[in-house]
Structure 1
Amino acid sequence: MTGIRRRLRHLSDWANSLFPSVRLPGLLILSAAVLMLTPVCRPCLYLSVALNLALVALALADYRLLKAVDQCEAWRERDDVFSVGARNPVTLSVRNRSALSLHLEVGDEHPHEFTADGESPRFRLDPDGTWQHTYYLVPHRRGDYRFGRLTLRARTPLGLLQRQRAFDLPQPVAVYPNLQDVRKYNLLGRRNRLEQMGLRRLRVRGRSLEFESLRDYVPGDELRHVHWKASARKGKLVTKQYDLERSQHLVIALDLGRTMASRLGDLTKLDHAVNASLLLAHVASFCEDYVGLVAFADEVVGYLPPHKGRHQTGRVARFLYPLEPRLAEADYRGAFLYLGQQCRRRCLIVVLTDLLDPESSAQLLHVLSPLTRRHVVLCVAFGDYELAELVSRAPRQQRELYEHAVALTLRQDRARALAILRSRGVLTLDAAPSDLSIAVVNRYLALKEEALI
């Protein structure tokens, strides 16, 4: 009895996975048209019967040929960690182990919160052939997500029926801050081409250089650093590598208040700030500085003590991963009192916030000024391109006039707050969201070059 039920369930699954193709209804319509001519032409009846019998025979043959789909294999390859706001590659592969050519369409059940480029690919796969296709997903929020099934829809050269087969491939994926900028920095750094990323070279003036080690010459190295004796022994150019006295302290203060919840493009302001924090922390760790973080809203949400070394980038990524904006006013006073208790020595404090609201801007001005007595403070604010568009656009209706006036007032309040900060010894940076990460890192490198930290 159990075997009969299993076979009936298998036949039911088969029936549910079969679909007629476009070709089959067309042939049925042709047969019906021939049948309608029977009153006028008696032989059309026999022709219609012959067509229907031929269709049934071909459909049965197609049904049997579609069993070749059972010999297909499909799998998905992707990174375990995705980067928010970036294009993350996903590679789909299909292998045909049958002796029949198949026309296939592949559908991937990715998290619906992600944006995918392109449509479901269609292709022909020969016997013992393998097909690969890479498409890209853009996640818009950090967090834990899950892939679902990978579906194949197949038809044979006869093309009367289609069969759909699903592969259960549940795979978790975690969306972290933008790790692709970190990987790009590592790659271009090894090739001495950081300018391609928009980053400046670090040239520290007025400090002694201490010999550290030898390494292979790469294009762009200064000839005065070539070790000619070692080059002669090895038969290739070898460069002397120097170390700087450069273990400064950097603390990133990340605002999680309500103003950071608004969206600029596909990401929130906090997402842009988180991506900039991760790249800045990685570059600072690469420069052998101590890097720490504090995240706050109406209270201190978390604190990562400053540490030195390449492993600090991973700690920073894990610290930033769960952070979300809160619908509360940022308590700058409480956050920086806490930070002052934790950081006793001089350091560079990079504050990533938004100066949109006059009241919160006034509170920030009151808190940051005393910090400049012991620390170097850099306040990073978002250049809101939406406000710039509203101000530059000529109003044509009464509503647009109100929007123009509000946008102009907000921009003036913002410019006034930044000017007051600069007058009180606080360094400022106003950058567009798309350029924020590179702008923050370049400002940090400039401060190191000028020996201000």
Structure 2
Amino acid sequence: MKWHRQRSGGGLYPTARAVLLMAAGAPVALVIGVAAPALWTIGFAWMLLVILLIGADALLAPGRNQVAAELTVAGTAPVGSRIDASLQVSARSRVQSAIDLDERLAPVDDVRRTLRGDETQSIPIRATRRGTAHVSALWLRWKGPLGLIWKQRRDDRDHAILITPDLRPVREDSQLLIQQAISGETARREIGTGSEFQSLVQWQPGMDRRAIDWKQSARHATLLAKDWQIERNNQILLAIDAGRAMAEPLGGTPRVDRAVTAALLAAYVALKLEDRIGLFAYAEQPIVSSAISPGVHSFPTLQRLAASIDYGTREANHTLGLTRIAQKLDRRTLIILFTEFTDPTSAELMVRACAPLLQRHILMFLIYRDEELEALAAAEPTEPEDVTRAVAAQALLRERAIVAARLRRMGVHIVEARHDTAGTALVEAYLGLKRQGVV
């Protein structure tokens, strides 16, 4: 259905049925005019009749004040989530509706609905970008009883929706990851895998034999093992590349939003494990820089700063960003960088900027697998254009692999994962470094 979206919003206009009726009189009038010129007024009478019917339909149709509509929208939603707007209409006739969305919202399907009488329908929309989104207008239109006229109304609305970073993984995954870090194979206190000596314990089958303290075992006439505790109070900096490449969508959500979600999950787990966390973000210039703070009480501050990271429109200046990070840090730090490789030039600059950091700090990269490129590269070609696309995709994937291999040779820890499991993979890699005593 086509809408006449004048800014004024209201108005009357004919339906397709009225146009067809009016047009149907033209050939009849032409035939009569040729066959019986004296009866030419019949064609004029037909058009006059249609006009009168349209006028009558406009009078009989429900007035603007006889159609009531109520639109309900949630006031807040995490980025990437689905929002179900509820529309209730009360009218004597069938009413068609549509809503106006800004650039931070996208329809899941058609936002137009047809409602009959007193009916309520759900309109699914998706939050695609962080910030304050608006549903600015509700459009309604209905026909007269003869189906010859549309009456249309535009209701100005100001439904503001605060689109926040997606904290669902923090709530859903963090407790499981923390529990794994406290007990089981990824215990927070493990035999022989920590970095701070805790105590001597009775050796039990399954423990690492390298943890046995033979001298103390001989003295006490029983087999004793050293209990090591993973070091606490480590310093971790989460660095987010907020340049143009990170604003590109991945699975329907910008990469930078994926990075913010993974960073907040890692921050929450690290704070619960009594490490210290800071946040840094940069595009062509540094845009966010927080103090490196301990305690879960600092998580709301990190969340607020992460929500302020905007979508970049220019290439990220890795040299400047990583140099500022080096100037910011006064002790050995695990730097987790969320970035994307787009072209060989920017990747080369980033690799060069990483070298000075590795002399003192530990560097970890979180890289999202580009499933779209992988699908293009693996697709069976059926047309010549498919071959071109596959070759281009393979070249881009090869460049990414080369950059990742160079970084690994330099000593950078690379975490490459799907967008839906990246946060968990990052936390597991971080816990692995803690168990190994690297951090």
Length-normalised TM-score, structure 2: 0.67
Match of 1:25 in 2: 19
Cα separation, 1, equivalents of 2:259 and 2:60: 56
Helix, strand or coil: the match of 2:20?
Answer: helix
Output the amino acid matched with 1:275: T
3-state SS of paired residue (1:413):
helix
Q: Partners of 2:67 and 2:247 in 1: how far apart?
A: 46
- 1:370 match: secondary structure: coil
Give the Cα–Cα distance (whole angstroms) in 2 for the partners of residues 172 and 392 of structure 1.
Answer: 43
The 1:285/1:17 distance shift into structure 2, 3 A limit, reads: farther
Q: Are 2:117 and 1:108 equivalent residues in the alignment?
A: no
- Indicate if the aligned counterparts of 1:176 and 1:317 stay in contact, CA closer than 8 A: no
- Paired position in structure 1 for 2:138: 150
Q: What is the CA–CA distance in structure 2 between the aligned matches of 1:320 and 1:390, rounded to whole Å?
A: 33
Residue 410 in structure 1 maps to residue 399 in structure 2:
yes
What 5-or-longer segments of structure 2 have no aligned partner?
A: 1-7, 191-229
- Residues 1:443 and 2:429 are matched in the alignment: yes
Query: Are 1:183 and 2:180 matched, yes or no?
Result: no
Deviation sequence 1:52-73 (CA, Å, 0-9, x none): 6765554344222334441323
Task: Give the C-alpha shift of residue 77 in structure 1.
Answer: 2.9
Aligned partners of 1:406 and 1:124: how far apart in 2? Answer: 51
Q: CA deviation at 1:17?
A: 0.5
Q: Find the counterpart in structure 2 of residue 211 from structure 1.
A: none
Against the structure 1 CA distance between its residues 308 and 64, is the aligned structure 2 distance closer, same or farther, given a 3 Å change threshold? farther
Hey, what's the Cα distance between the residues in 2 that align with 1:206 and 1:438?
17
Q: Say if 1:295 and 1:28 are closer, same or farther in 2 by CA, change over 3 A.
A: closer
Q: What are the superposed Cα offsets for residues 171-197 of structure 1, whole Å, 9 maximum, x if unpaired?
A: 4444443x2xx23653677xx8x69xx
Match of 1:64 among 59, 63, 67: 59
SS in structure 2 of the partner of residue 159 of structure 1: coil
Percent identity between matched residues is 22
In 2: Cα distance, 1:145 partner to 1:81 partner? 9
Structure 2 residue 327 is the aligned partner of structure 1 residue 338: yes
Q: Does 1:94 align with 2:88?
A: yes
> 1:13-412 alignment to 2 at 5 Å?
17-31=11-25, 55=50, 58-84=53-79, 86-96=80-90, 98=91, 101-112=92-103, 114-126=105-117, 129-139=118-128, 141-177=129-165, 179=166, 182-183=167-168, 185-186=170-171, 201-204=180-183, 205=187, 207=189, 250-256=236-242, 260=246, 269-284=255-270, 290-296=276-282, 300-305=286-291, 306-309=293-296, 312-313=299-300, 315-325=302-312, 326-331=314-319, 334-341=323-330, 344=331, 348-354=334-340, 357-372=347-362, 377-385=363-371, 403=392, 407=396, 410-412=399-401
What amino acid maps onto 1:94 in structure 2?
A: Q
The 3 A distance-change label for structure 1 pair 371 and 19 is: same
- Tell me the TM-score normalised to structure 1 length: 0.66
Note closer, same or farther for the CA distance 1:120–1:403 as it changes in structure 2 (3 Å cut). Answer: closer
**Structure 1, unaligned stretches of length 5 or more?**
1-12, 209-243
Answer yes or no: is the 8 Å Cα contact 2:72–2:85 preserved in 1.
yes
Residue in structure 2 matched with residue 239 of structure 1 by the alignment: none
Q: What is the identity, as a one-letter code, of the residue corresponding to 1:150?
A: L
Equivalent-residue separation in structure 2 for 1:136 and 1:168 (angstroms): 19
Instruction: Note the C-alpha offset of 1:167.
Output: 0.4
Query: Aligned pair in 2 of structure 1 residues 393, 329: CA closer, same or farther (>3 Å)?
Result: farther
Cα separation, partners in 2 of 1:429 and 1:406, compared to 1, 3 Å: same
Looking at structure 1, the residues matched to 58 and 390 of structure 2 have their Cα atoms a distance apart, in angstroms, of 67
